[in-house]
């Protein structure tokens, strides 16, 4: 089982730009953050970091990595959220990166 934060930066890089540029209200980094961070307090803490000019998806993943509940987030769990958001383009990118990652570790 491959974890989202398992030393494979290309996994996160492959979806960050797509989520940042998403014009759909249901398919962008904010909707993923809302799905993952279910409590209002955690979401407010995350939003407080958004004043930076940094990539918002990168900030989201960095924030999630710090929270014990999400530090073991698997690629499968992330895919489930992306499926619910109808982001097939990102799912295909994840399949390619995950396949490459598994081949490199074979």
pLDDT tens track for 42-77: 888 888 877 767 788 888 888 888 888 887 888 888
Q: Is the pLDDT of residue 104 over 80?
A: no
For residue 46, what are the contacts with CB-CB under 8 A and spacing of at least 6?
33, 37, 59, 60, 63
Tell me which residue range forms the domain holding 84.
9-104
pLDDT band, very low/low/confident/very high, at 103 (cuts 50, 70, 90): very low
Whether 2 is covered by a domain: the verdict is no
Whether 1 is covered by a domain: the verdict is no
Relative orientation angle of helices 29-36 and 75-84, to the nearest 10 degrees: 120
Percent of the chain with pLDDT over 70: 74
Per residue in 29-40, pLDDT (tens digit) is 888 888 888 777
Whether 79 is covered by a domain: the verdict is yes
State pTM to two decimals. Answer: 0.72
Task: Give the number of domains in the chain.
Answer: 1
């Amino acid at each position: 089982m491959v974890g989202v934060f398992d030393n494979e930066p290309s996994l996160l890089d492959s979806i960050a730009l797509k989520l940042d540029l998403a014009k759909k209200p249901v398919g962008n980094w904010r909707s993923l953050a809302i799905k993952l961070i279910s409590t209002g307090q955690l979401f407010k803490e995350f939003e407080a970091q958004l004043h930076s000019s940094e990539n918002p998806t990168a900030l989201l993943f960095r924030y999630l990595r710090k929270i014990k509940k999400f530090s073991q987030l698997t690629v499968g769990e992330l895919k489930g959220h992306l499926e619910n958001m109808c982001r097939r383009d990102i799912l295909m990118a994840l399949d390619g990166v995950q396949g490459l990652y598994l081949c490199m570790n074979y």
